A and B are shown apart, each in its own frame.
Chain A
Amino acid sequence: MTVFKASLRNFFAHKGRMALSAVAVLLSVAFVCGTLVFTDTMNTTFDKLFAATSADVTVSAKKSKDRDSRQETDKPPTVPASALSKARSAEGAKSAEGVVSSEKVTVVDEDDKNVGSSTGAPTIAGNWTVGDRRTMEITSGRAPRGPADVMVDADTAKKRKLELGDELRTITVTGDFTAKISGIATFQVTNPGAAIVYFDTETAQRKLLGATGAYTGLAVSADSGVTHGLLKKNVKASLGADTYTYQTQKEAADSSRDQIGSFLDVMKYALLGFAGIALLVGIFLIVNTFSMLVAQRTREIGLMRAIGSSRRQVNRSVLIEALLLGVAGSVLGVGAGVGLAIGLMELMGYLGMNLSTSELTIAWTTPVAGLVLGILVTMLAAYLPARRAGRVSPMAALRDAGTPADGKAGALRGVLGVLLCGGGGAGLYAATKAEKAAEGSVWLGVGVVLTLIGFIVVGPLLAGGLVRVLSVVTLRPFGRVGRLAERNALRNPRRTGATAAALMIGLALVASLSVVGSSMVASATKELDRSVGADFIIQSGNGQPITRTVEKKLKASKNLETVTSYKIVNARITAPGGKPDGAQLTATDPSYMRDLRRETKSGDLDAAYDRDSMSVGDAYAKKNDVKVGDTLKVAFGSGRTAKLTVAAVTSDDSSVDKGSMYTDIATARRYLPAGQVPPNTIMFGSAKDGQEDAAYTALKKEMKPYPQYQVRDQADFKQTLQDQVGQMLNMVYGLLALAIIVAVLGVVNTLALSVVERTREIGLMRAIGLSRRQLRRMIRLESVVIALFGAMLGLGLGMCWGAAAQKLLALEGLKILEIPWPTIGSVFIGSALVGLVAALVPAFRAGRMNVLNAIATE
């Protein structure tokens, strides 16, 4: 009990010194809890949405089990109207109605602006049904009644400033059509972001499916007292068990949620990963805090031991302090986490994603996870310092006060560190030499983890050399004050090492990702230069394939000399005497050969576009022992089986269309039923020589009514690529910022505690004439050199990781290693600034110290 009391007193006596450690625990725990609350809330929102929008029993077209032969066409699969009357008469069915719904649409306003979501949520067009009335209420105007009416959801109307009477143009497979807004309907549950437009049933059928008399699904409601399961059984019995897919409300909601759930899970684990990194960094801060508190309390602990405390008691008293710190930090962290989640939801609101705080979901596991994690990590981090405290000899009480003995980095540390780094280096090397990506990534992972631990272990030993080198450049110009700062940074290598290691972790990740990112851009740019001959690339930005209307428009364009269609056709391909291998054909116009330059290993790619001919990739040819002139059996999904002659074997040395098997669209058309020819996923165009610029301007203008399709020339395309990689990197940097902030807190913490520890020294220096300014500068310089040391380790390590990753990814086409020196350089300089900022408060406090207190003899 007395041990506990002493710990409690110590904890509160040093609460200022504990504050930054508590903040580190708080931040990490808040990130973890915030992530959990946020993703749980999103799950709740989607659950409610899907539960509310699913009918008691849903009937939809049968999904083929055989994924290979399922052909994506431009029209959704349908259920005939005849099924609807059968469903109505099924036993236990109160009512049934046909639902028409498609996500392959784009809706634009009068200025040709896409009214759909910008966050990746779909645009859904459908018929206004009884089922919809359960979840939506018409808040102004009326339901759509004819081909000239359209109703839009209130969130979209508000976001895009749409009013009754405004014209909306809907771009569908069947063409474009314009309708006036007749009504605005408001969701009664939270709709996270999909844009929804409604038509009357006949218009929806004509425009979205191209024919009346069919639906994309049937919604059947149960009589009271009839369970969904029973109703499903009855409907199934009356429509035929194998004809359609049947789902109860729960099944439909679950399957919808599974689709989005996997995305949410990826997001959740990615965010938790970043929280984990911050927590890891926080460990260093806590270890340092307790090490320094124990060191400062050496005499006190010695006295306790001298008057009879056991090692265990001393040890335990430190751990109890850690427990208090962990509890305080975690409890605050859980609270902050909920706040963070709410903040994230607000932020999402700005970005166009609606989440309601009324659906804020805090599972009981969230605070438990936060508390357990925070407390466990704190205790774990305090374990080593606590053990060291237990080892303090009773003699320490009798020794002179003054600065505690400097921790010397030991030989064991050196051996262990070198072994780890060596092992990690070997892992990285193995990754660069790997022949298969999967095997290589295991080596890469091993290499990264081992080198990281190795650097952490060996860091204090490197501190001596590297800090001196850095000091020559950065500190020496400041004369004696600089040299004092250098000596201070060197006097306890373990402390400097741990402080710098915390910064190192975040910066190593930044450096490695920036290397991979810029290598990605450089490799792709080079590949584009090498292989792409087309002047323009037309691609969909929202997943809607290129509609026939737009395809025709492009083909008819006077600005373009050649226009190439590009379709992916599902097919099972069988080599002579072999098993089916290969599930896709790339059907294009012959002009594609000029749009994308491919090297051939043998044969002539031109001939692959002859009637009933094709080409195969090198790897396929080797694997199946296929040569030019062989005939392959190609079973087109939902079509006939053809015998195509191999006319060329293309080289696989390309990251674009790697391993693709080409054939002419005309060939594919002959074996596919008329309605089963897939739409273009991408198109290419070229202008006459010398007219590229004019053609580009004209083409952009031509495509203006179709904002979902982007027209890019090669320069644009490269820029887009670079922007995408840049955006992704910025997001990751943003998330890593948390770890870096914790690391900076660590620098502040180390400096603040060092200043306290050096009170007498500071007093002496002030007495013999060191000015406040010089004193502050000394502390700032120490901070800068620690930060630069951490940055040097981190950037060096990160660049090695990045280079190893690039060598590994060379298998996937990442052929060029590009070190982004401007980024690396600015991170390095930025670290120096971070060091300056970290020293602000400790330097200020040191300057304010009373000289007399500092030099007062005991």
Chain B
Amino acid sequence: MTTAVANPRSGGSGARSAVAAAARQLVKSYGSGETRVTALDHVDVEIARGAFTAIMGPSGSGKSTLMHCLAGLDSATEGRIWVGEQEITGLKDKKLTRLRRDRIGFIFQAFNLLPTLDALENITLPMDIAGRKPDKEWLERVIKTVGLSDRLKHRPSELSGGQQQRVAVARALAARPEIIFGDEPTGNLDSRAGAEMLGFLRRSVDELGQTVVMVTHDPVAAAYADRVLYLADGRIVDEMNRPTAEAVLDKMLRLAANTPHTAGELGANGSRP
């Protein structure tokens, strides 16, 4: 981890592999017997380091579950998961917590910030929890990048939705994690704020070498990624490199036609701006 702190561009725990996270034959199911629901059905996936990956799929396709499993928030029913070189399947809560704290960053759709802390305190929170001193230069650069220099002493309730999400991005970047996971990070934003936010994520990949994984059902958002994975019924059904919004939308509509029972919903999602 010391190397991770010393070298922001590569992130990671010293290992230089091209894979930031991976899952093999990952199964996640809830309940048992007849009421058993399979959210992930033998998924194999590799997340490339230094790239921006989008996971797409209709509601109930398992995309959020996949992200939760890869991020160490949820445990696998079967299969194996790695973050960098380290296998995380079977890790106890204590180690998983440290993994999330030290190697992973999160941006949620809403409720990203603690209301009692101001913007700066929210940004440094993961490092404070770990008892680490933030790297001042790096912190300033992150804050400048997301344009929050004059909002640092504001409480979340005094910030707009877009500003709040920018604080969340800054928090995710500030600790220089190996991977940042975003769960519909633009879901609650208008299109301008959303575009701004996606721009930050894109730049963090291009300029800082950050690895980003984002769950979304918005083709426009997905178009910012290097690679898009399509999930349906708990399986990866397709993927696309260097996507454009039109190509993503097109593919989704075609996938929807192939899986009739989710077509209506997909269509509705797909038509969103």
Contact = CB atoms under 8 A, between A and B. Distances in A.
A760 B68 CA distance: 16
Interface stretch (B45-53, B95-103, B238-246): B95-103
Contact of B97 (A403, A480, A764, A769): A769
A765 B106 CA distance: 11
Interface in A465-503: 479-481, 484, 487-488, 490-491
B98 A403 contact: no
Contacts of A760: 111
Nearest to A847: B93
Interface stretch (B18-26, B122-130, B198-206): B122-130
Nearest to A771: B97
A768 B111 contact: no
Interface string A767-781: 111111010000000
B272 interface: no
Contact of A487 (B94, B117, B131): B117
Contacts of A770: 97, 101, 129
A841 interface: no
Q: Which residue among B94, B110, B187 has the maximum number of chain A CB atoms within 10 Å of its CB?
A: B110
Contacts of A17: none
A857 interface: yes
A852 interface: yes
A769 B115 contact: no
Given A403-B115, A774-B129, A857 B109 contact: yes
Q: Interface on chain A toward B: helix, strand, loop, or mixed SS?
A: helix
A771 B101 CA distance: 9
A768 B184 CA distance: 17
Contacts of B126: 768-769
Interface string B231-243: 0000000000000
Interface in A814-858: 851-852, 855, 857
B254 to A, nearest CB: 28
B74 interface: yes
Contacts of A487: 116-117
Q: Which 10 A-B pairs have the closest CB atoms?
A: A769-B101, A480-B128, A487-B116, A771-B97, A857-B109, A769-B100, A768-B126, A760-B111, A770-B129, A769-B126
Given A767-B100, A768-B106, A769-B98, 4 more contacts: A480-B129, A766-B97, A768-B125, A772-B94
B171 interface: yes
A768 B100 contact: yes
Interface string A369-410: 000000000000000000000000000000000110000000
Contacts of B101: 768-771
A272 to B, nearest CB: 43
A761 interface: yes
A490 B115 CA distance: 12
A479 B131 contact: yes
A852 B130 CA distance: 21
A426 B109 CA distance: 57
A600 to B, nearest CB: 71
B129 A769 contact: yes
A480 B123 CA distance: 13
B112 interface: yes
B73 A761 contact: no
Interface in B145-172: 171
Contacts of A766: 97
B15 to A, nearest CB: 21
B125 A852 contact: no
21 contacts: A402-B111, A479-B128, A479-B131, A480-B128, A480-B129, A480-B131, A484-B117, A487-B116, A761-B114, A761-B115, A764-B112, A765-B114, A767-B100, A768-B101, A768-B125, A769-B126, A771-B97, A772-B93, A855-B108, A857-B109, A857-B184
A402 B128 CA distance: 24
